[in-house]
Amino acid sequence: MELDLSPKLAKKVYGDDSGSYYAWCPNELPMLREGNIGAAKLALEKNGFALPRYSDSSMVAYVLQGGGVAGIILPESEEKVIAIKKGDAIALPFGVITWWYNKEDTELVVLFMGDTSKGHKPGQFTDFFLTGSNGIFTGFTTDFVKRAWDVDDDIAKALIGNQKGKGIVKLDANVKMPEPKPDHRKGMALNCEEAPLDTDIKNAGNVVLLNTQNLPLVGQVGLGADLVRLEGNAMCSPGFSCDSALQVTYIVKGSGRLQVVGVDGKRVLETIVKAGNLLIVPRFFVVSKIADPGGLSWFSIITTPNPMFTHLAGSIGAWKAISPEVLQAAFKVPAETEKLFRSKRTNDAIFFPPPN
């Protein structure tokens, strides 16, 4: 049975006026289950507080909108309290406890994408909450709570029952939360919109790679990531992941055309992608995108911390390395045609400006 590769939007899982949690379902996007990939979004309104939790999956978080504060507690480590803003990428390894808070008027939206191969449900994140109506305290009997935390009966009952919220709550405006510490950001987050560009093609596009060099924690997560921005009507070269990695792509902004070619030269997907769409390209399948006039931006995770890609067009395209005689024979074309083919795209790598 052929898998449905068409891009999908996230569905609301829970939430209220404090914020909402959205996720992509493996039943609607089968490649999530096939590739053991999870994807979700957290949206917090003003004074929205995502209660402390840990997940069964390692993941990369990316701030899509707004700003706020995140608390990150790595195993056997002190809490890191960092200011987060649009463009921030944060690596979250196994066992990390996080909380998220928005004190601004603008909604804070955070994207999560990660590896569910060791999780409870392939293609889905399972969160374990420390507090709240579905928190771990509610599962233990009062005598266990009293014994474990050395508290009396009244305190144990308060710990178990006071917080009626589930997952996300709204705090009173006068509640004081920890202030972010600038030195805590080092090694924890990288702003992809401000980081040095790894590739920048005039009038075409640019890319920032997230890897073990600029954010070492991605090595623990086992994932790489990138932020790609295409100018209006520009094209991203057809290419594929040459190290058997999956690429999971979230459309951050804009829209454009996308084509994916798979086994036996079959075009398995031709569609228009828009902001909010998530799609997964199977291993070794070739993908290319052309931005609409307003441009196209996407954030991707790749299931290896230092990904490698083969591009089939442009100055670094694989065609350039193949002998002219081999190309003539392979394409069954005369030398003049092969020479013309090879002479094209000698200056543009990866991204191509709009045609004149």
Please tell me the distance from the alpha carbon of residue 193 to that of residue 267, in angstroms, as a whole number: 33
Residue 190: strand pairing partners: 89
- The pLDDT value given to residue 321: 80
Q: Which of 92, 46, 91 is nearest to 69 (CA)?
A: 46
8-132+167-185 and 193-309: same fold? yes
Question: How far is residue 268 CA from its own chain's centroid?
Answer: 23
CATH class of this structure's domain 8-132+167-185: mainly beta
- The pLDDT value given to residue 322: 87
- The pLDDT value given to residue 143: 95
- The pLDDT value given to residue 80: 97
Q: How do the domains of the chain map onto residue ranges? A: 8-132+167-185, 193-309
**3-state class (DSSP) for residue 20:** strand
Residues of the chain with pLDDT under 70: 1, 314-317, 346
Please tell me the distance from the alpha carbon of residue 43 to that of residue 21, in angstroms, as a whole number: 6
State the pTM of this model.
0.93
Ramachandran sector of residue 233 (left: φ over 0; alpha: ψ -120 to 50; beta: rest): left
The two three-digit tokens of residue 289, written as one number = 């995108």
- The pLDDT value given to residue 1: 47
- The pLDDT value given to residue 314: 67
- The pLDDT value given to residue 316: 62
Q: With b meaning 16 or more CB within 10 Å and e meaning fewer, what string describes 76-111?
A: eeeebbbbbbbbbbbbbbbebbbbbbbbbeebbbbb
List % helix, strand, coil for the chain (3-state, nearest 5): 15, 45, 40
Question: Residue 178 is which amino acid?
Answer: P
The two three-digit tokens of residue 43, written as one number = 């949206």
Q: Which fold has domain 193-309?
A: Jelly Rolls (2.60.120)
